[in-house]
Structure 1
């Protein structure tokens, strides 16, 4: 039986390395402008490759399970934001306005794709439904997340609603994604052959965006505003959100009559948030050094969800039926 090892996620360790690099050697002046333009180009390439790699056949295989997909999407884009807003009186007394903005941003992000499917597979859940739900979450997130950022996240900070973030996402993320999907029949074999190298390109894009965002934040004094105690508070808030969502997805799916396999899919797809989507979207949606602060909650939540889901997947996998 295959198990995930309980160990730090390599990508998270590299992200921490980028934060350290940006903390000691932030890009400034002409270098900052050059890195910013490069990161914008890399984000476009990243979403082009997302579109080119997405298998339509795998998505269609689980598409008929509409009750499960609606539940996962409802948890991802409705329940999570409601929790973030409901906890506002408590959270605003514990963290700075910028960090609370990051927590709300975490709540409106789509689910992960690769890890949701991987955990569902290890736990012996409904893999085809997981592929469909996770993929749909990421595709719809290109539209839904920027709208929710304008309606909920920025409105929660007293900023007026604006369609500008939505238009930026359409131009910088959606158009490359659609182009990748349209060209998939022509480049599918090439994409499959170089999947390992393309995964490294994905990671490099995210690492570059994190370096640029945190470099700008460091120049503006992020570490004077976020001491170690604040990081621990963010981690505890992340644990609270994850616990609430996992309890709701587990017992809610049982009350609604889903099978054990479907329950596993709902738990892993509904409780997770995508760092891979969150980082480039933050680059587009939040200006200047604010992106660095906004990304702190999702980075901590990302590592926490991986560790918790590793243990949970092993427990599901050990069941007798």
Structure 2
């Protein structure tokens, strides 16, 4: 092989490795979590529940606060239709589907599938949307990351109330009565922990980023582009998953169930995540609405058509908003999910490892699967992003023309004043 071909081959290999750095880094950290689980686990050497659970998540939302416009963020907070869709899917639709599937699996009486693992799947489905990966993936896919921030905050605050209530409801069934935590006293303590974590790791860094962005806009833009801070979120996401795996390995979660059960969970989680994503797409962009309302109402349109159009068509999301709904609706948090499970069942529960296995595996697989979906979503929403870029450029040109016109007027005014003074 000639030297030029060797150089070309090495360049392609290095480019491939760089493009896949996320998966390579994740694999390395999972291996580290296996051999050194005490280092990054909850209550471990580095106290990951604070250093990573707060620090890494705060870094992601600080970067988001620095890069997002305040006016658009406030606008997305008022998008109650998107909030209703995401919350309904995240808490009710996904959990009810998971309950039905787990009930069917349990009735099959397969000895390879542990009953507590099935209960763990149900608890996972009742958890709120993930805190960090949604924002990272939505930004990479060109979705509405401002709306995603709102969904993360609202969903996780409500999760402190909704998740324990849903677990109680599903565990009241005779099939899963063995998994009823029946610890209503933990709800208030759980809510305080969730509010503290959401406040310190999401709200405070987001607020600081917004203040700094509005006070020093030019410096912030320079820092974001020069240091490429957009990559920080992906690396912090790896750290969050490292902590989750370390906690699971330390509690011998994967040794507590059979290999057949682990294999089942790996394939089941991928399938159910893609299925939930498909449901989110149908929910966000119902195919029948454009057919029922092909045109905007005019003066000649009937009152019924006009009223139904104004009520129903706003539920048909744009592609950017649909990407947010798909990422938020199907995802489940492990950063808060571990706290939600341990608060309900107790940190000394003999079945805690089996309950955590579905959650930890689902989190890692949803991130890996979402990373593959990013490129497809980005191409799908490219037309909307191009339109927005064109509008921004045209607005900049208009504002530049206005400013130049004002400058010319000021110059003419100054020349007239000077000439009159000379006279």
TM range (shorter): 0.7 to 0.9
Conserved? CA contact 2:87–2:155, under 8 Å: no
For residues 72-124 of structure 1, what are the alpha-carbon distances to aligned partners after superposition, in whole Å with 9 as ceiling and x for unaligned?
A: 332233322222223221354545524642563255332612322443x3xxx
Q: Which runs of 5+ in 1 are unaligned?
A: 122-126
Aligned to 1:255: 288
Show the 5 A alignment for 1:187-206.
Answer: 187-188=212-213, 189=216, 195=224, 202=233, 206=237
Shift of 1:20: 1.6
Give the structure 1 partner of residue 102 of structure 2. 88
Which residue, 232, 235, 241 being the options, matches 2:266? 235
Cα gap change, 1:72 to 1:221, in 2 (>3 Å): closer
> Do the aligned partners of 1:85 and 1:104 also contact (CA within 8 Å) in 2?
no
- Counterpart CA distance in 2 for 1:8 and 1:292 is 31
Query: How far, CA to CA, are the matches of 1:8 and 1:82 in structure 2?
Result: 38
Q: Trace 1:164-179 onto structure 2 (pairs within 5 A).
A: 164-179=189-204
Query: What is the deviation of 1:150?
Result: 1.8
Verify: 1:45 aligned to 2:64, yes or no: no
Corresponding residue SS for 2:37: coil
Q: Distance in 2 between matches of 1:278 and 1:308?
A: 19
TM-score by length of 1: 0.73
Q: Which has the higher contact order (CA 8 A, sep 6+)?
A: 1
- Alpha-carbon shift at residue 139 of structure 1 (Å): 1.0
Q: What is the aligned length? A: 306
- Report the equivalent of 1:245: 276
Find the aligned partners of 1:183 and 1:249 in 2 and give their Cα distance: 32
Aligned to 1:124: none
Q: Greater Rg, structure 1 or structure 2?
A: 2
SS at match of 1:224: coil
Moved more, 143-152 or 8-17: 8-17
Q: Any gaps of 5 or more consecutive residues in structure 2? A: 1-15, 172-178, 291-312, 388-423
State whether structure 2 residue 68 is matched by structure 1 residue 57: no
Alignment correspondent of 2:410: none
Inter-partner Cα distance in structure 1 for 2:260 and 2:19: 21
Query: CA, structure 1 residues 102+11, in 2 after alignment: closer, same or farther (shift >3 Å)?
Result: farther
Indicate if the aligned counterparts of 1:117 and 1:134 stay in contact, CA closer than 8 A: no
Query: Would the aligned equivalents of 1:165 and 1:285 in 2 still touch at CA under 8 Å?
Result: yes
Mapped partners of 1:316, 1:186: distance in 2: 30
Q: 2:123 aligns with which of 104, 110, 124?
A: 104
